[in-house]
Amino acid sequence: MRENWAGNLTYRAAEYVEPASVDELRDLIAARPAVRILGTRHCFNDIADTTGTQISLAGLPPVIEVNESRDAVRVSGALRYGDLAPVLEDQGLALANLASLPHISIAGAVATGTHGSGDRTGSLASAVRALTVLAADGEIRQITRGDDDFDGAVVSLGALGAVLDVTLDVQPSAQYAQHVFEQPRWDAILDDLDAVTSAGTSVSIFSTWQRTDAADQIWIKQAQPDGSTDSRAAVAARLQAVAATRPRHPILSEPAEATTEQGGVPGPWFLRLPHFRLDFTPSAGAELQSEYLVPRADAVAAITAVRSMADRIAPLLLVNEIRTVQADDLWLSSSYRTDAVGLHFTWKRDEAAVRALLPDLEAALPVSARPHWGKVFTLPGDEVIGRYPRWDDFAALRARFDPERKFANDYLTRLGL
């Protein structure tokens, strides 16, 4: 547990502990001056690091409880989406969306504003209707949608305490099919981005930026039964894209066996919405990631800025993914009060070179761009927090939950917390 999953970060924690009960967790937090909760280590920066004690909640008893009305499920915060999904499917239920990989913990994904893709689908945090937090003072606090603190407490950066469980909205299970088209033309994409991203329930555009006239692929995931065949074909034709003749990986050099089934074959929601299968290493493994989310009105300008830097970006890049997120009211969500378009970069694991490039990339993007909390960015803390209108309210919330800053670390200090 000394490194994050990608191997680009070695944790400095003096101690790693995995308590087996809430009482043991409470005692650990009370006895340590500095603690951070560690999830599945799928963050590329030091958000989960500390010089004190790292605590994993994976040893707590697992919880998966569907309510009587079958529209919500209460789950352990440490549980992975890939472990929850088949249990829901067995009960005829589903989540509205999933991230590109099912390997991540629910509480960790929610706390960092992680998302999938879909014009009409919010981030994973937007599905939260309640959460249970063990605060620094040992008190267990239940926070429910509609409470004064709720919108601030969901995307929390791990600053409020240990999230014991999360209650998520669920819906009836659905089948999805996934279609891949290759070489869509950039000019056509940017001419009507809304038409492209609305071509399916979930749409992702992938590019290595080795060329600037066409992207590499567009993945369209569509709920079944599918009545949109004509519109999907029309979008592909307008983009001058061709249907893939074999399964593809987002990173063209990687084998497609790690990806969820394509070719329009219907399957359960949790085996189509993610890009990667649970039993394979997602993406490239040894990599870095950055992501910047911009309001939809700024998306074409943001993509155009990236396109103008293609000659500098391509040598360091494994793949760039463009996807969409519906607006929400969560204070630290990158889609707070705006439909957003995310520009996600999977980099080769050359951190010095990537960090040297990022200031220029960040300067080229619209000033509305919000970096993903769990990925690599170089924007100064004051610039980041200035892009969140409710930041001062969150700082006050954090001070109430953790006045002694037990859950603080260098990452939060850079943000003024």
Q: What is the CATH number of domain 175-379?
A: 3.30.70.2520
Q: Which of 120, 98, 117, 114 is nearest to 327 (CA)?
A: 120
Phi/psi for 182 (5° steps) reads -115, 150
What's the pLDDT at 230? 62
Q: Is the pLDDT of residue 250 over 70?
A: yes
Q: What is the CATH number of domain 64-173?
A: 3.30.465.10
Instruction: Please provide the average confidence, as pLDDT, over all residues in the chain.
Output: 96
Torsion of Cα atoms, 352 then 353 then 358 then 363, to 10°: 120
What's the pLDDT at 279? 86
What's the pLDDT at 175? 95
Q: Is the pLDDT of residue 149 over 80?
A: yes
What's the pLDDT at 232? 74
What's the pLDDT at 194? 96
Q: Is the pLDDT of residue 172 over 80?
A: yes
SS3 string, the chain, reads CCECCCCCCECCCCEEECCCCHHHHHHHHHHCCCEEEECCCCCCCHHHCCCCEEEECCCCCCCEEECCCCCEEEEECCCEHHHHHHHHHHCCEECCCCCCCCCCEHHHHHHCCCCCCCCCCCCHHHHEEEEEEECCCCCEEEEECCCCCHHHHCCCCCCCCEEEEEEEECEECCEEEEEEEECCEHHHHHHCHHHHHCCCCEEEEEECCCCCCECCEEEEEEECCCCCHHHHHHHHHHCCCEECCCCCCCCCCCCHHHECCCCCCCEEHHHCCCCECCCCCCCCCCCEEEEEEEEHHHHHHHHHHHHHCHHHHHHHEEEEEEEEECCECCCCCCCECCCEEEEEEEECCCHHHHHHHHHHHHHHCCCCCEECCCCCCCCCHHHHHCCCCCHHHHHHHHHHHCCCCCCCCHHHHHCCC
What's the pLDDT at 234? 80
pLDDT tier at 282, thresholds 50, 70, 90: confident
What's the pLDDT at 231? 67
Average confidence (pLDDT) over 25-35: 97
Measured distance between the N- and C-terminal CA atoms of the chain, rounded to whole angstroms: 26
Q: What does the domain layout of the chain look like in residue ranges?
A: 64-173, 175-379
Q: Which amino acid is at 385?
A: I
Q: Is the pLDDT of residue 229 over 70?
A: no
What's the pLDDT at 2? 87
Phi/psi for 82 (5° steps) reads -65, -20
What's the pLDDT at 100? 94
Q: Is the pLDDT of residue 206 over 80?
A: yes
Q: Which of 285, 350, 271 is nearest to 313 (CA)?
A: 350
Yes or no: say if 298 and 289 are a contact pair by the CB < 8 Å rule: no
Q: Collect all residues with Cβ–Cβ distance below 8 Å to 85 and sequence separation of at least 6.
A: 94, 95, 98, 102, 269, 270
Q: What is the pLDDT of residues 52-104, one digit of tens each?
A: 999 999 999 999 999 999 999 999 999 999 999 999 999 999 999 999 999 99
Residue 147 token pair: 């409470």
What's the pLDDT at 280? 83
Q: Which amino acid is at 337?
A: R
Average confidence (pLDDT) over 153-167: 98
Gyration radius from the chain CA atoms: 21
The percentage of residues in the chain with a pLDDT greater than 70, rounded to a whole number, is 98
Q: Is the pLDDT of residue 51 over 90?
A: yes
Q: Collect all residues with Cβ–Cβ distance below 8 Å to 390 and sequence separation of at least 6.
A: 151, 152, 331, 332, 336
What's the pLDDT at 228? 62
pLDDT tier at 1, thresholds 50, 70, 90: low
Q: What is the pLDDT of residues 329-374, one digit of tens each?
A: 999 999 999 999 999 999 999 999 999 999 999 999 999 999 999 9
d(CA 267, CA 144) in angstroms, rounded, equals 33
Q: Is the pLDDT of residue 227 over 80?
A: no
Strand partners, 178: 221
The β-bridge relationship of strands 288-295 and 370-371 is: antiparallel
Q: Is the pLDDT of residue 269 over 70?
A: yes
Q: What value, to the nearest 5°, has the Cα angle with vertex 18 and ends 17 and 19? A: 110
What's the pLDDT at 233? 78
How much is the pTM? 0.96
What's the pLDDT at 219? 97
What's the pLDDT at 389? 98
